[in-house]
Amino acid sequence: MEDKDHTTCPICNKSFLVNDIQQHANRCIFLNCPDEKRKRSPSPEQQNSQAKLVFNQKSPRDMARETPPSEPSKQSNEPQMNGSLSFLVPLAKQVQPKTLGEFFGQSKVLGKNTVLHNLLQQGEIPNMILWGPPGCGKTSLAGIINHICKENPKKLRFASLCAASCGVKDVQSVITVSKNEMKYGRKTVLFMDEIHAFNKKQQDTMLLSVEKGEITLVGATTENPSFSINSALLSRCRVIVMEKLGQDTLMKILENAAKSFDVSIIHEGAEAKCGAGTKVSIESAALQFLADFCDGDARIALNNLQLVIQHNNSSGKLISIEDIKEGVKKCHMLYDRQGEEHYNLVSAMHKSIRGSDANAALYWTARMLAGGEDPRFIARRLVRAASEDVGNADPAALPLAVATMQGCQLLGMPEADVLLAQCAIYLARAPKSREADEALGRAKTVVGTWKGRQPAVPMHLRNAPTGLMKKLGYGKPEEGQEGTFMPPELEDTDFFD
């Protein structure tokens, strides 16, 4: 029942003073989001009343604080652990850090007294591009920024998009709201995951808003920003280089996740009590094996841990290294056949050949083959190395490399692997001469830096297929020109220093 001083909001059904209902209802209309509609679907009478209200754009976060908490959801039939986590959501998502103190790794960019760490502690979010391999903490850092925005609702608002699944209209929608929020002194932080999935023209939609300060852009990419991000947009953002996580960092992350799952960690030498009714335990050595196993990718490590725990979720179970091996089966190896790692590995192979290190040349070749690299791509680089680095010190190297490339085309994988190995070993052990490559470089420099018109071909070096050309002096050396083949302007030039 309502008294004379109170009335009910037609949108949220909450009771307010008569003098305050108009202001509250105006903000309720602006909220008008799908999640809120599902909580309360207004009746036809309420909808008619709503149409009479005046539209006044107000912060959605202010309204969210006024909205009563939703009813607890029904419990799922899925199995749950003794701790606060479950198997419903990937473990990497469940243990995502919310504060800088909970973030492990990346001490070079997020360690204490670093510029970025201090800015985030002060609630200041700069425009930045987070660049690093999968599972290094880019999304986790975005989650921390989201939490910072929630702690400062009057100043900051967080919006998240993924370039792989959204379009320009989604970005424009965020920008439209951000312009409106600017009127109330709130800055919008837009997290754009997989930003390299946008082409340069799509990235241009954010450029002007970043320039004007209407949004703060936080992009995440596994691709080299120099190639995948619009140069104009890149110049307005700070590139944060995040490295592959080390084993010690992964171990800390896994230990923290195991404790959150209420799983006991049994260190070497300690006795594990595995009687009936005791909770699940895991050997510390098994966690270390998993940390070493996942190639610096925390997401893979955490989700593998969840898989193993789910498979061995019985009272008194002690998870060992054998259980980890059985549950995971195959090592996760980072390799992108079209990304930067593609070129990093082939460059490492080439430089190992140049340095005459047969072991390293074979290792990098095996890494590429294990990652599924096209053997023809490796073979083409071997042909280049045979000419560029071995050269005339061993003239047999180039025919061998060409034969290797042809053999790879004929055989294909997996039979072509030993051809590549043989050629890489041969080139690494062969004597080296970079004379041809370096001399060519000097010749290109002379041609490229020549001022004015390029020297003409001397008459005696020209072909004379017709009588007229012979009469004009084509092919006939003048006195003193016998045995000379360079233009007179370059007569004393020597490319072989």
Model confidence pLDDT, tens digit, residues 404-413: 999 998 888 8
Measured between alpha carbons, how far is 38 from 362 in angstroms, rounded to an integer? 60
* Residue (of 298, 293, 281) closest to 326 by Cα position: 293
pLDDT at 288: 87
236 and 113 both lie in a single domain? yes
268 and 237 both lie in a single domain? no
Range of the domain at 478: 457-497
pLDDT at 393: 94
Q: What percent of the chain is modeled with pLDDT above 70?
A: 78
Measured between alpha carbons, how far is 83 from 276 in angstroms, rounded to an integer? 18
The answer to whether residue 286 is domain-embedded is yes
Strands 6-8 and 15-17, bridge-based pairing: antiparallel
Q: What are phi and psi of 291, to 5 degrees?
A: -65, -40
Residue 395 binned pLDDT confidence (cut-offs 50, 70, 90): very high
The answer to whether residue 96 is domain-embedded is no
The answer to whether residue 315 is domain-embedded is yes
423 and 462 both lie in a single domain? no
Mean pLDDT over all residues of the chain?
80
281 and 215 both lie in a single domain? no
Instruction: Tell me how crowded residue 254 is: count the other CB atoms within 10 A of its CB.
Output: 26
233 and 125 both lie in a single domain? yes
pLDDT over 70 at 11, yes or no: no
198 and 319 both lie in a single domain? no
Lowest mean pLDDT among 71-80, 241-250, 260-269, 483-492: 71-80
pLDDT over 70 at 49, yes or no: no
pLDDT over 60 at 222, yes or no: yes
Q: Which of 306, 328, 350 is the last residue of a domain?
A: 328
Residues 6+ apart with CB under 8 A from 246: 105, 296
pLDDT at 162: 92
The answer to whether residue 91 is domain-embedded is no
The answer to whether residue 450 is domain-embedded is no
pLDDT at 2: 47
Which DSSP letter does residue 86 get?
A: B
The answer to whether residue 95 is domain-embedded is no
Q: Which of 429, 446, 473 is the last residue of a domain?
A: 429
Kindly state the tokens that stand for 71: 């009813």
| CATH for 255 | 1.10.8.60
In this prediction, residues 26-44 reach a mean pLDDT of: 49
122 and 230 both lie in a single domain? yes
The answer to whether residue 171 is domain-embedded is yes
| 12 vs 227 pLDDT, higher one | 227
346 and 319 both lie in a single domain? no
Measured between alpha carbons, how far is 64 from 66 in angstroms, rounded to an integer? 5
User: Rounded to 5 degrees, what angle do the CA atoms 308, 248, 224 make?
Assistant: 95
237 and 111 both lie in a single domain? yes
What angle separates helix 358-370 from helix 417-429, to the nearest 10 degrees? 160
- The structure's pTM equals 0.57
Residue 26 binned pLDDT confidence (cut-offs 50, 70, 90): low
pLDDT tens-place string over residues 440-473: 988 989 888 888 888 888 888 888 888 888 888 7
Cβ distance 145 to 256 under 8 Å? no
260 and 224 both lie in a single domain? no
Cα-based torsion angle of the residue sequence 60, 65, 70, 75 in order, rounded to the nearest 10 degrees? 100
Cβ distance 382 to 405 under 8 Å? yes
| 106 vs 63 pLDDT, higher one | 106
Instruction: Tell me how crowded residue 316 is: count the other CB atoms within 10 A of its CB.
Output: 14
Measured between alpha carbons, how far is 268 from 100 in angstroms, rounded to an integer? 31
| CATH for 350 | 1.20.272.10
Q: Which of 241, 267, 283 is the last residue of a domain?
A: 241
The full DSSP string for 176-243 is HHHHHHHTTT-EEEEEEETGGGS-HHHHHHHHHHHHHTSEEEEEEESS-HHHHS-HHHHTTSEEEE-P
Amino acid at position 89, single letter = V
The answer to whether residue 182 is domain-embedded is yes
In this prediction, residues 4-31 reach a mean pLDDT of: 68
- Domain count for the chain: 5
Q: Give the distance between the most distant pair of CA atoms in the chain.
A: 121
| CATH for 225 | 3.40.50.300
167 and 216 both lie in a single domain? yes
269 and 367 both lie in a single domain? no
Cβ distance 430 to 394 under 8 Å? yes
